[in-house]
Amino acid sequence: MSSSIPTTPQIKVYGQTHLYLTTPIYFQLVVLKDSAFAWVASHGNEVLQNLAVAMPPVSYGGRDSSLVPPATTLLTRNVNELSKQLGQKLARKFNKQFLVSLNLPPITDQGLIAFAEKKLVAFIKEIFEPSSTSS
């Protein structure tokens, strides 16, 4: 019979809200040991509709940032792949598995998408690289 050593779960949850023009955009990051779940939603779209997962790129010789991170869509209500594409960017940048749920209005301008991505990356940097954001 094997014995096990009890461990304390290391799950941390962070949240922020930013205004895009007059619309609140909600950000939540759930950090686990080697992965993270990022949820982004606009006011009125606070649901889990678009979910994708992406892994950091790995080649046989080690990490290769020129490779496209493997990713797939797990849950979707439309044909866009914004959650998947954002997950790939985050997996490459932070070298972690990312689950991403990007829930913005069905007709979203590129400005809102760029805003959400920029704020999310800055938010994640605050968590994973705290020394790089304090200047």
> If pLDDT is split at 50, 70 and 90, which confidence band does 98 have?
very high
* 3-state SS class at 108: coil
Nearest to 98 by CA among 47, 50, 38, 39: 38
Domain extent, residue 39, equals: 13-128
pLDDT tens, residue by residue, 50-95: 899 999 987 655 555 577 889 998 987 776 788 999 999 999 999 9
Q: How many domains does the chain have?
A: 1
Question: pTM for the full model?
Answer: 0.82
Question: How far, in Å, are 62, 82, 84, 101, 134 from residue 66 at the CA level?
Answer: 12, 20, 17, 24, 29
Are the CB atoms for 125 and 117 separated by under 8 Å? no
User: Residue 10 has what pLDDT?
Assistant: 83
> If pLDDT is split at 50, 70 and 90, which confidence band does 24 have?
very high
Are the CB atoms for 94 and 123 separated by under 8 Å? no
For residues 106 and 100, which has the higher predicted lDDT (pLDDT)?
Answer: 100
For residues 129 and 59, which has the higher predicted lDDT (pLDDT)?
Answer: 129
CATH for 24:
3.30.230.90
User: Residue 77 has what pLDDT?
Assistant: 72
The answer to whether position 8 is within a domain reads no
Question: SS3 string of 58-69?
Answer: EECCEECCCCCC
pLDDT tens, residue by residue, 6-16: 777 789 999 99
Question: How far, in Å, are 27, 33, 63, 104, 111 from residue 115 at the CA level?
Answer: 12, 28, 29, 12, 6
For residues 28 and 73, which has the higher predicted lDDT (pLDDT)?
Answer: 28
Average pLDDT, the chain: 86
Side chain identity at residue 29, one-letter code: L
The answer to whether position 91 is within a domain reads yes
The owner of tokens 């594409």 is: 85
